[in-house]
Homo-oligomer: A and B are copies of this chain.
Amino acid sequence: MTRIPFDEMKATIKQAFLNAGMPEDKAEVCARTHTESSRDGVYSHGLNRVERFVEYIGKEWVDVNAEPTLDVNLGAMEVYNGNMGPGVLNAIFAMNRATEIAEKNGLGLVSLNNTTHWMRGGAYGWLAAEKGYIGICWTNTESCMPAWGATSGGIGNNPFIMAVPRKEGHIVLDMAMSQYSYGKLQVTRLKNQKLPYPGGFDKNGDLSDDPGAIEETRRVLPIGFWKGSGFAVLLDIISSLLSGGLTTAGIDKFDKGSCGSCCQIFIAINPLKINTQEFIDKALGATVTQIKGGVPVKENAEIYYPGENSLKTRKENLALGIPVDDGVWAKVKELATIK
């Protein structure tokens, strides 16, 4: 396995974005965000997503020069048009703005309409937590999953993120509404493996852990069956109604790539406005102790709190370099070649 140092990966991605026409400051932030995603183990939305992002710029599905503009100001809540700018930059702007509003109003909610793919949603939860804020955010997406009771697509996998700052390591949930991504199905099939747990329905309508059988039907499973299906619908319509932007059905029609003109919600709250640091440390400490103190499924195995694995991977990848797929890395280096 090839491992690439963080700084080398970031510089290479940045050059690829500069070559695609991004201004220097924007290329810097986007490159850092992609590299951080790979550093934390979310390879699918880090280095592996660079080529597609460059392709979207080329197709004019992303406007590298666009900036978010204010649509509505309601005090604790502000609505922005993302103007089809880079989703990563719009999302960083929105979560930062939410933290500013939170200082004045207790909490801040910023919504974006007409934005583009934010890559790894968790990035904005970690961002809020790094600044000392509780962060909650979600996005809608194009449809890629059947609603419960249906065999054909209709709802998005709408990632949902919650993050809580904690000195010893932030507690972060970053989940899509599908049990497994299509990327995970493909990778598992190519290894000739089964999924660890059922991930969808096969052509007979039976639950299956065979990734190929699920790719065939495209009946991926929402988390919790009917529950995740309903959650996906609510995340979608709330993100649209709080931003005045497109629903999943609208994104499907808009048809400018994955998440083209999607909507996103960013909520920030400063827990120190309500509690002392001592109370917070005690509450989080007791929770982590309770989780990690359970009886593990396998003897001597560790039980992780949400986000703990990301930190472990981060530490390892910073020490040893970030693992890359050689083909993907070669492609990004090609995009980064100065012609």
Contact A105 B162 (CB under 8 A): no
Range class of the A interface residue count? 35 or more
Set of chain B residues within 8 Å of A173, measured between Cβ atoms: 227, 230-231, 233-234
The answer on a CB contact under 8 Å between B179 and A304 is no
Contact with B along A248-279 (1 / 0, CB 8 A): 11101000000000000000010101110001
A77 at the interface (CB under 8 A from B): yes
Asked if A147 is an interface residue, CB under 8 A from chain B, the answer is yes
Q: Does A16 contact B (CB under 8 A)?
A: no
**Residues in B neighbouring A136, C-beta threshold 8 A:** 238
Q: A296 contacts the other chain (Cβ, under 8 Å)?
A: yes
Instruction: Enumerate chain B residues within 8 angstroms of A148, measured Cβ to Cβ.
Output: 303-304
Q: Which of A42-50, A151-159, A182-190, A324-332 contacts B (4 or more CB under 8 A)?
A: A151-159
- CB distance A295 to B152 under 8 Å? yes
Chain B's nearest CB lies how many Å from the CB of A1? 25
Stretch binding the partner chain, chosen from A31-39, A54-62, A81-89, A286-294: A286-294
A293 proximity list for chain B (CB < 8 A): 154
**Chain A 282-321 near chain B by CB (<8 Å), digits 1 or 0:** 0110110111011111000111111000000000000000
Q: Is the CB of B280 within 8 A of A241?
A: yes
Q: Is A146 an interface residue (CB 8 A)?
A: yes
Which residue of chain B has its CB nearest to the CB of A271?
Answer: B241
Q: Which residue of B lies closest to A222 (CB)?
A: B224
Q: How far is the CA of A241 from the CA of B271 in the complex (A)?
A: 6
A139 at the interface (CB under 8 A from B): no
CB-nearest residue of chain B relative to A149? B303
> How far does the alpha carbon of A163 sit from the alpha carbon of B304 in the complex, in Å?
32
Which B residues are in CB contact (< 8 Å) with A109? 106-107, 269
| Contacting residues, chain B, for A105 (C-beta < 8 A) | 74-77, 105
Asked if A243 is an interface residue, CB under 8 A from chain B, the answer is yes
Contact partner of A162 (CB less than 8 A), chosen from B150, B155, B225, B238, is: B238
**Which residues of chain B have C-beta atoms less than 8 A from A79's C-beta?**
274
Kindly state the separation between the CA atoms of A107 and B295 in the bound complex, as whole angstroms.
42
Are A237 and B287 neighbours in the complex by a CB distance under 8 Å?
A: yes
Asked if A75 meets B76 with Cβ closer than 8 Å, knowing A109-B107, A244-B275, the reply is yes
Jot down 28 A-B pairs with beta carbons below 8 A, ordered by A: A72-B273, A74-B105, A74-B107, A76-B107, A79-B274, A107-B109, A143-B290, A147-B294, A147-B303, A148-B304, A149-B297, A149-B301, A149-B304, A150-B294, A154-B291, A164-B238, A173-B227, A179-B224, A198-B198, A223-B223, A223-B228, A224-B228, A233-B291, A233-B305, A233-B306, A241-B271, A244-B279, A249-B289
The 6 closest A-B pairs by CB, nearest first: A223-B224, A74-B106, A150-B294, A77-B106, A76-B76, A230-B306
